[in-house]
Homo-oligomer: A and B are copies of this chain.
Amino acid sequence: MSFTHFNENGRAYMVEVTDKADTYRVAVARGEIVMKPSTIDAIRNSGIKKGDVLSVAQVAGIMGAKKTSDVIPMCHPLMLTGVNLNFEVLTDRIIIEGTVKTHGKTGVEMEAITAVSVAGLTIYDMCKAIDKDMVIGSIRLIEKTGGKSGHYIRQEEVNG
């Protein structure tokens, strides 16, 4: 088992994918931000108004997906053909799920987990004046299709 991201001199490089076929690719990632129930209540109330916390996080996460290859050094630039984000608001946390699609030579896992991360960071930013103890976590790949490595489904999802 060895890394693919290093060249013949042991230095990092952008892996060559020139010869890979263009295929349809989808990745789903999930994460969460844990907070005080009173902060959850404040977010729910903001949602009644026009400019709610989650709308801002939604926009930030989608724009974040498009910035992935600018932020992650060895990521290939990709023409994203679809980005979606959904939030599930529980009593002490918000579950963030991001789905990214493309038709290209490499997968979109990084785009999906970057979208989820940026959405989490934005919720943190919008709420930090009332709750500094929030924790962003459980950011992980859930499912991935397309490309030579085949279909990946996270085990917890199969069992759970």
Contact = CB atoms under 8 A, between A and B. Distances in A.
Contacts of A28: none
Contacts of A69: 66
Q: Which of A60, A72, A78 has the most CB of B within 10 A?
A: A72
Contacts of A56: 5, 12, 55, 59, 73-74
Interface in A97-154: 101-105, 109-110, 113-114, 117-118, 120-122, 124-130, 132-141, 144, 152, 154
A13 B84 contact: yes
Given A3-B42, A56-B73, A72-B122, A10 B49 contact: yes
Contacts of A125: 5, 72-75, 110
A155 B72 CA distance: 32
A159 interface: no
A140 to B, nearest CB: 5
Given A14-B84, A59-B56, A104-B79, A73 B1 contact: no
Contacts of A16: 81-82, 84, 101
Nearest to A48: B10
A80 B135 CA distance: 24
A158 interface: no
